[in-house]
Chain A
Amino acid sequence: MKSPAVTLVTSLVLVSLSDAHATSDVTVRFALVVGHNRAEGKGRADLRYADDDAVATHRLLVRAGVRSVLLARLDADTRALNPRLVPDGPPRWGELAAALKRLRREMRASAREGARPEFILFYSGHGDVSGGEGYVLLEDRRLTRSLLYGVVLSGLPTARNHVVVDACKSYYLAFDKGPGGKRAPYHRSFIGAPSRPRNTGFVLSTSSDRDSHEWERFQAGVFSHEVRSALQGGGDADNDGRITYAELGAFLRTANRGISNPRFRPDFVIRPPGHPSGNLAQPFLSWPRPDERSAALVVDRPGHLYLEDVEGRRLLDVNAASGQSLMLRLPRERLFLRRADNSREYGLELGEAGGGTAGGAAGGRTVRLSRLRATPLSLARRGAMHLALERLFAGGFSKREVAEFVIFFERECLPPGAAPPAVVVSGTDPLVVRLSHELDTEVGILPADLYTTSLQLSVGYAWHMTRLWALQLRLAYLRSYAKDLREQLEENFGIHRRRFAEIDYFGEIGVLFKPIHGRLFLFEGYATHWEVFLSAAAVVGRMEGGDRTEREPSGRGPRVFVGGASGIGLRWILTRSVSLRSDLRQMVLHADGDLYYPLAVTLGLAVNIGGDA
């Protein structure tokens, strides 16, 4: 039968675990989407589709439940295609700063409510390098790397940030330019740019001095279109509704690898949040269950398909490998799904009044490709670049591509000496949970004595003065039990029980030094926070028993001891307010000229009051 204490502790742990899971799952995403067609000066041509990319990305994010702010000046074609869409402002620095201010306020509010805010910055437009520093263009000024790090991404109350840039030389907006104007290995910039927020991931359209491509067939930047295709489910290899950096990177790599001419092949860079190598398992975007804003199309047949809306806007391209199904998240409107060779077309009615196969979540609509009827089509194509770009999405995408990309990333992209396992975290990341006041209760044993096992029950208070140091008080009561050897000595050889030393109780005051803390992921998913600490304390208490003396021939009576204790401990932070800790302490005690060396192993449950994350 379980004792009430065991039941209580078990209940507390279970409640704590469920609490931790609940709080860590509430991610609220905020986005700033900027599109700007204009070039700087007369030497370069304006872009045609940067504003279209911004609009399409904004719409996608809104469907995914992201609070998105759109800064773009729409050209005539884009306005005609989106007559009811009014951007939140033009792509100017003042509007950008004001939008950021609003978003920061909303992020803080959501954080206060227990959510975990994340920030997405999407930019589509012209970019270049000046003085070794990359920049992208706004209407009235350059958005440089310094501004990006020092203003845009600075002080965000977010767990993670995600920066997507589709612009020429976008690599240098995030990373340093190498010596002599050459591309620097990306890891140098990680080390040489300490101001780069470590909780920020990057998805960039170029890996060097390359230009980005637009393609009129997509009516979009090629890279932006690929990113949107992945985020709408084309890259969700495990169909869990979360598109991770691994999946996004694998999707982009697979989509582009069919183009043999590097001049035409999009060349992207992807770096997940973390320093220096990042954790590819982190999600970039998570989709809610299909609802009134979005529906789902299960692509359960292999081959290259693309999707257009009634206005002819190309929403995505996808190519499911044989045996791989992909769940696409689509707007609830009339859509056309076509084979890439334009041989067949499938009509999709995903609106409220449409057909399709209802299923999935309540109120949502899920349609399977295998149940749709196709009609034949024909279309002419032309041009060398068209022929090259038609090789986009030529390869099938599946979980295998994700696995290959992860191996490729670790072999080709990790900087020398970087920690091999997934690296996440930091900066303003709540990964580092700062404790303030801690009350704990511990149970433990003193197992090292040959003759006696002691059970220890203690209560403690720790004041965590800084992230590295804490002051700790502890009171402990011990109950001792004879081991087999001692029982034999007492029973068979008449050794008096007072010949064996036993600690009755003690108090200690000392410090905790916490040099290591961080976050470990359970199977690359659920995050758990840990802390390793060292302890040192002065100890005073009462003991009885011990070697006989002339004055006490039958053994020692009760007496006071003083001494010290040092040890190592591990803390598992379950929630902001509850943690489990385990301590291993070696004590050196002095009592009436004798020394004792008890070793204590304890396990405790701690309640943390105050602090932050």
Chain B
Amino acid sequence: MRQVVPVLLVVLGLGIPSRPAVAHGPLYRNEILFAVGTMPASATSKGLTLYGSYTLRFTRHIGWEVLGGMWFFSSRRDAGISLEDELSNNYDVQPTAECTLEALINSNLIFTPLRGDLLVLGDVEIGGEVFLNLGYAMGSFSNDRSASGLDAGLGVRLRLGHHTSVRLDLREYLFFHEGSHEHNFHLSVGLGLGF
């Protein structure tokens, strides 16, 4: 079943017409995102992340984040504040090995229901969008295991110009592994380049 999900996403993506069928088509169809983020609520996966993705927009409301990838480039362990250290120092408890999320890849449908104008400092006008995403994610963990899961979230885009925008993404990754599940809330801010 897990293998079917990405195939289904591809089929859905290819099935959507490349020309906008409605009056409000996107101005550009491709977007590359570079983002920096964190998982503020995770007990184990602290630190900063790098996130990148490529998105294909079919209409102004529907797009497909074909492939995204996230990698922790600074972990709690690197910062000397790993859970293991904390439990050992504060409670004299030696935990079993930590299993932390180290990287993931994902693919999402992007739905943008809200678009309009925003005034910055009451003067400068920029375009804004609110979008939702839902898709598939596969995570790689520190104990050499991987797990599939869901990726759902909400984002805000502030357009800086024709081809550039700032994106704020709030995403929840829910990984399933051997009957258990693990939440990972990811917050990122990035620069989107459209063409």
Contacts and interface: CB of A to CB of B under 8 A. Distances in A.
A518 B128 contact: yes
Interface in B119-143: 119-122, 125-130
Contacts of B99: none
A193 B125 CA distance: 16
A515 B43 contact: no
Contacts of A448: 40-41
Given A406-B23, A426-B125, A516 B41 contact: no
Given A448-B40, A450-B86, A518-B117, A275 B27 contact: no
B86 A406 contact: no
Nearest to B123: A426
Contacts of A414: 162
Contact of A417 (B114, B115, B130, B161): B161
Interface residues of A, number: 55
Nearest to A445: B41
Contacts of B15: none
A15 interface: no
B130 A410 contact: no
A519 B20 CA distance: 24
12 contacts: A246-B23, A402-B23, A419-B126, A419-B127, A421-B115, A421-B127, A450-B83, A515-B120, A517-B118, A517-B119, A520-B117, A520-B130
B60 interface: yes
B2 interface: no
Contact of B117 (A417, A423, A495, A524): A423
B194 to A, nearest CB: 8
B121 A420 contact: no
A522 B23 CA distance: 15
A467 B87 CA distance: 48
A516 B114 CA distance: 16
Contacts of B130: 520
A511 interface: no
B27 A410 contact: yes
A227 interface: no
Interface in A477-498: 483, 485, 489, 493, 495
B14 interface: no
Interface of A is mostly: loop
Given A424-B116, A517-B119, A522-B114, A450 B93 contact: no
A462 to B, nearest CB: 18
B90 A547 contact: yes
Interface of B: 20-25, 27-28, 40-41, 43, 60-61, 83, 86-87, 90-91, 93, 113-122, 125-130, 156, 158-159, 161-162, 185
A417 B162 contact: yes
A424 B91 CA distance: 58
B115 A275 contact: no
B117 A519 contact: yes
Shortest Cβ-Cβ A-B pairs, 6 listed: A518-B118, A419-B127, A520-B116, A421-B127, A520-B114, A420-B27
A523 B61 contact: yes
Contacts of B120: 515-516
A522 B113 contact: yes
A473 interface: no
Interface string A407-438: 10010001011111111111000011000000
Contacts of B115: 421-422, 520-521, 524
A485 B87 CA distance: 10
Contacts of A246: 23
B122 A403 contact: no
A425 B93 contact: no
Given A423-B127, A528-B114, A447 B41 contact: yes
B39 to A, nearest CB: 10
Contacts, number: 133
Nearest to A420: B27
Contacts of A35: none
B90 A281 contact: no
Interface of A: 246, 274-276, 279-281, 399, 402-403, 406-407, 410, 414, 416-426, 431-432, 447-448, 450, 467-468, 483, 485, 489, 493, 495, 499, 515-524, 527-528, 530, 532, 547, 570, 599
Interface of B is mostly: mixed
Nearest to B44: A450
Given A421-B60, A520-B114, A426 B23 contact: no
B49 to A, nearest CB: 16
Given A447-B40, A516-B120, 4 more contacts: A403-B21, A422-B115, A485-B43, A520-B128
Contacts of B83: 450
B43 to A, nearest CB: 5
Given A450-B86, A520-B130, A493 B117 contact: no
B38 to A, nearest CB: 10
Nearest to B28: A420
A416 B163 CA distance: 11
A403 B127 contact: no
A516 B119 contact: yes
Among B28, B43, B86, max chain A CB count under 10 A is at B43
Contacts of A403: 20-23, 25
Contacts of B158: 516
A422 B162 contact: no
Contact of B159 (A276, A420, A425, A489): A420
Contacts of B20: 403, 407
Contacts of B128: 421, 516, 518, 520, 530
A468 B119 contact: no
A422 B116 contact: yes
Contact of A489 (B91, B118, B156, B162): B91
Contacts of B61: 523
Among A421, A468, A530, max chain B CB count under 10 A is at A421
Contacts of A570: 156
B117 A467 contact: no
Contacts of A431: 117
Given A520-B128, A523-B61, A419 B121 contact: no
A454 to B, nearest CB: 13
Nearest to A517: B119
B116 A416 contact: no
Contacts of A520: 114-118, 128-130
B24 A281 contact: yes
B113 A523 contact: yes
A599 B42 CA distance: 12
Nearest to B116: A520
Contacts of A467: 122
A421 B60 CA distance: 9
A424 B117 contact: yes
B93 A489 contact: yes
Nearest to B114: A520
A523 B23 CA distance: 11
Nearest to A399: B23
B155 to A, nearest CB: 12
A274 B90 contact: no
A570 B162 CA distance: 25
